[in-house]
Structure 1
């Protein structure tokens, strides 16, 4: 059920050490009558900034890239700004590529941040791919180098989708998909950043990737083993497809050792299909005939990070979801279950990331160092209805978990493992996917959370 530990474990250990030093589809939804949605205020620990409008694209600096107007504005290659060779570290193949670049304006975060996670939405036809980079400024005005936050393509025929290890400066490091201040207790914070997109294509072709959205979530969530309890809001349950990762155990071990580690792509696939999208028969033709739910195998392959050697790269999952027709997807943090209730009330399910001991989540029947589930609703008592992919089969995926236990394991930033050692929690990390033409109610909630 968990992704590889190489990145999350290292990041958890770093944050724990710092803490010790410093502190010791709406129509498919079914709703039940109940209370009004709980009020919510913006999380002052999180700053979201996404570039996605035509004005946004024009505000940046392009070299060979140009904004594309229309109902869904994007960024494309107009002319090649240069040519380069790229040797894929995972295949050893070297190929020549033309490229164009776009650099965002400098965004001053409303939250001096200890972590920044970028995410993007794009289409990359065969013969194209993209690279996403981040450069930040610390409070004293010094700047980081440009860090690669991902080399990404929706397929794996041209390059292998990958993060990069070993990036950092004297005060911060990149752990797969997350820039993190090495010692938050020191007071070091990232106060501003820019993002740079490089769009690649086969030389001499007229191909182009199209990027519809790029941005980042900056956050400074305080060290906390517990979080305040929230009052339940309105009861509602969304009809989301149910898929178990465990029916895929042993399948395609080249992708994160098989289904037992596919919590993230399985969760992503459930929400993609909730919104009425799914891979075509041609896209599934590579899957061995007779396997159940071949689209889950497809999702695992399409989210696999060849450096991380896992399917749990957060932005890669969002990018996979947004590769489907007219879909948006971001990685963010939410401040409380009240925020999730507001999204559920608008017909938008949420994929959450959490770690817990078996005894901390009644009814789960397992413990995990990192697991993704889909929140699909709330009961009359305010308990969480989740599609938990770590279930023996598809019918068993729907679970009800106690509200107080859930909000604690999801929102905390510090926890104790089975040996009593301090580890990190995700502090409310989640994926949010929604169509490019949301309803008025959905638009209102998404905007209030800083996602539009």
Structure 2
């Protein structure tokens, strides 16, 4: 399971979706329906909304402002280095090495949030061959008319030879802060919100080469929802199970402790690898050659190493997992939030499994046998009664990974924003966090399902 997270690291976002179409977000709201027998805390919650916007098309890339970068057309349009804008030194805080890098930048147009946000999470898909890397930044305007600084949302490379991929701590202007991979308003109760933002890519390469990183998808999700301990129950609507590979993180205990103390904390990369392989992603013998040949499922070790955030000291950085998935041929990855199990049913019906984040006491999820302050698992289907079929990596063996969890329990621990921990203190819930990995060229049915949950 994931190691415990500080309560302030990731407060919760909204749990409804907005479709983003070529620069405009169209909010889709879901009103909370009263549930019999529960108090006003659960029953009177307002509509929950999310605004997700991504830049993915050739027209999108042309709409941004560039210094040394240029749009790349084709079946998978992107942005790459053309004639570099200049050269800059970067001192890697995790190795101490300083090197010079040619760079180019691309900055998105201003996106006005349909849902003024308390939190924003950026995610991206990129090809970063050896000798290249990227940086993703965000700036925005508050509801009081002032502006944020440029915040670093991540420094990413698929390998480790050039830089160590990293989040950046200690970023704040007294109104908002960056918590690993999440922009958050410091005092949401004040009414301050982020009303618009821009994203900036900086593409780096070694001087004297023609190498370039290429970014195919850049997006961000902003949202604002009320705190809640319980959520309305959804009505079962699907009985279907997808054939997703099963991998246990627990069999990797003690392996490669330099990556978040070994497999016991590898729920996120283990879940990622299951869904990557569901879509046909495979690693070569050469890619796995560094893994001890006595270890089972060496691809899980590879996934842990490839998602490790050297600042966070863990493999649970949400955008890093999505970016890792997109290193596989013809795959995309995004980080978003969903509204209910009905959203997951839409996706599963179209053949798209999902990775979800939840936290709970051992008594709150029947059959789990453990409690956690943050854990990732994959949703692969639903029983005839509507219960959740999950591949839970916190299992003693690969064979034990498939679990069936009670629908009502599972939905609540996933979507709530507040909960009580084992000491009785109020801490944050995960609020419907979800990684979605899907083909670079989805089928019409898959496109419809993704659009229904706000992803385009």
Shorter chain as normaliser: what TM range? over 0.9
- Is the contact made by 2:242 and 2:380 (CA closer than 8 Å) also made in structure 1? yes
For 1:145-178, what per-residue CA distance to the aligned partner results, in whole angstroms no more than 9, with x for missing partners?
Answer: 0000000000011000000000011111100000
Which whole-Å CA distance do the structure 2 matches of 1:136 and 1:122 have between them? 23
**Could you tell me whether the CA contact under 8 Å between 2:9 and 2:180 is conserved in 1?**
no
TM-score (normalizing by structure 1): 0.93
- Distance in 2, matches of 1:146 and 1:4, equals 29
Aligned position for 1:28:
none
Q: Deviations over 1:340-386 (max 9, x none)?
A: 00000000000000100000000000000000000000000000000
Structure with more helix by fraction: 1
Aligned: 1:270 with 2:274: yes
The equivalent position to 1:392 in structure 2, one of 387, 393, 396, is 396
Structure 2 unaligned regions, length at least 5: 13-27, 31-47
Check whether the contact 2:354–2:378 (CA below 8 A) recurs between aligned residues. yes
Alignment of 1:204-223 (within 5 A): 204-223=208-227
Match of 1:66 in 2: 70
The alpha-carbon deviation at position 251 of structure 1 amounts to 0.1
Deviation, 1:317, is: 0.2
Distance of 1:80 and 1:337 partners within structure 2:
46
Residue number among 63, 87, 91 corresponding to 1:87 in the alignment: 91
Q: Is the 8 A contact 1:3 1:262 kept in 2?
A: no
TM-score by length of 2: 0.92
* Alignment match, 2:436: 432
CA distance in structure 2 between the partners assigned to 1:443 and 1:400 by the alignment:
28
2:305 alignment partner, one of 287, 294, 301: 301
- Decide which of 265, 270, 284 is 1:261's aligned counterpart: 265
Q: How does 1:124-135 map to 2 (within 5 A)?
A: 124-135=128-139
**Partner-residue secondary structure (3-state), 1:56:** helix
Compute the displacement of 1:278 (Å): 1.6
Runs of 4+ aligned structure 1 residues displaced above 6 Å come to none
SS at match of 1:151: strand
SS in 2 for 1:130: strand
**1:146–1:304 distance in 2 versus 1, CA, 3 Å:** same
Separation of aligned partners in 2, 1:70 and 1:99: 23
Helix, strand or coil for the counterpart of 2:424? coil
Counterpart Cα distance in 2 of 1:3 and 1:198: 31
Report what 2:352 is aligned to. 348
1:238-275: per-residue Cα shift (whole Å, max 9, x none)?
Answer: 00000000000000000000000000000000000000
Preserved CA contact (<8 Å) 1:42 1:449: no
State the distance in 1 between where 2:346 and 2:449 align.
7
Partner residue, 2:318: 314
Q: Give the Å deviation of 1:4.
A: 5.2
Among 211, 218, 241, which residue is 2:245 paired with?
Answer: 241
Q: Which residue of 1 aligns with 2:373?
A: 369
1:357 aligns with 2:355: no
Q: Contact 1:4–1:308 (CA<8 Å) still a contact in 2?
A: no
Q: Structure 2: how far apart are the matches of 1:3 and 1:239?
A: 28
How many residues of Structure 1 are paired with residues of Structure 2 in the alignment? 425
Equivalent of residue 445 in structure 1, options 426, 446, 449: 449
- Is structure 2 residue 2 aligned with structure 1 residue 2? yes
